[in-house]
Chains A and B, each alone.
Chain A
Amino acid sequence: MTGALRRLVAPLSLVAAAAGLGVLAFAPGHAGATAGVATGATATASPPAALPGSLLAANATRTHSSSNLQLGQTLFQESCSSCHGTDAQGSALAPNLRGLGAATVDLWVSSGWMPLANPAAQPVVKPDRFTRAQTVAIADWVGSLAGGMAIPHPNLAGASVSEGMSVFALNCAPCHTITGAGDALSNGITAPSLHSETATMINEAVRTGPGNMPRFGPGTLSQKQVLDVVAYVRRYIQHPTSGGNDLGGIGPVAEGFIGLFVGVGLCVLAAFWIGDRTPRDLDEHAHGSDVPHGPGTTEHA
């Protein structure tokens, strides 16, 4: 019996172990699967289960030569300059990008928010139009104009998820919710879900504060704390936890609907099946001659 059960349980535990491995190893293949944007083709090509693989891959894109800057400038002129100006100096339509740094540009382009119709409204995520290398090239070119924060390359090797969760609860959960599901803020602005953001994007967003988001500089959060948060989001927020379907992580409202409509609903269905649906013996006896229709009727007659 136990042997049979073990055989039954084995595949499941394999799956669980694989999932756990994926979490711990922060496997590049997984990053590509959940994030879509991830660190590009180089990451998925790196050997699986090699922990530093993604980091190496990220480092590969880091080295930008002058030819990369050239590419970035060309792409910027083609795609961005009509609003932001040929030298990223901004225009009536869009803000000046000089001095914002490569990190800001990378976040806004790689997240799919650009091009943005209205700077004050919630950005709509659009499909990627650049490869990872192209995005980095654009960002690096803008960054090379007037400095600012470079594209970060979060190395999560020594990060503490415990410290990360603590920082997350104090600084991120108020808007993004404690499960990272995101929620609506005032005036049509939304704190987006964190379930598919890459490590680089999270790092950039914390430091640069895109749109409505506050900016967490080194005086507020140390670089270690940022890495901790990134590690917590990547390893826990973005992975299902114990106990079954999490219903989108939006808390008791979804649970209440399930409790009422599935829980109570199933019980009522069971009652409906066990009990009688119609006043039972009515149909079968009502037409029979031996059942009185009520004494009043004959008396009246």
Chain B
Amino acid sequence: MNDKIAMVDIFLMGKRYTVPETLTIIDAMEYAGYQLVRGCGCRAGFCGACATVYRMAGDYELKVGLACQTKVEDGMYLAQIPFFPGRKANFNLEDIKPSTAHFTQLYPEVYRCLGCSSCSKVCPQDIDVMQYIAYIQRGDFEKAADISFDCLMCGLCVSRCPANIVHYNAALTARRLYGRYIAKPDPFLVERAKAIEEGKLDAEIDELVAADDEKLQELYNTREIEK
């Protein structure tokens, strides 16, 4: 059933290795003998640790991908960017508001976007990065939060930006502002938290904590299940 797996040549920082074509870049680096310390994280496309830049032999175009989410191809020249020294503005969320005035103080460079769209082209999550920067400029934090949501903070956008914008940190601040100030709080949650803090729900649960296994099992087996 299992045909012989084809091999391909890849170039890790310029050095050639022959690896099975079914592997992701991460797996291929390990197959080649690397013990990874940086440039490897969740291995499932959630953490942004393994941002990778590559080019195919004979082509001038630089491509990007997450090493754990990209299959190797024959003639792939690649290097990882395991860290990028992007700036983060520190803030106290309670002292700022979702306003352009506050945002300008935290991330003034956001307003110097040149509109080149390099960030959007480079995003491995296919996020329209430049568009959310534009929303931030306009003070539309709701839209910025929405379209930047799938960001993994891998830093590739920052590596290509001629205006030195740190998109992923600006986006995270926008999302926190949205979550804190624009999205409405859940009314019942506030009430429930208060009831717990006041000890109003203690009696009900203490009765269960004190119950023996037989009683608990019976309650569990016969509990009502919401449709």
Tell me if chain B binds chain A.
Answer: no
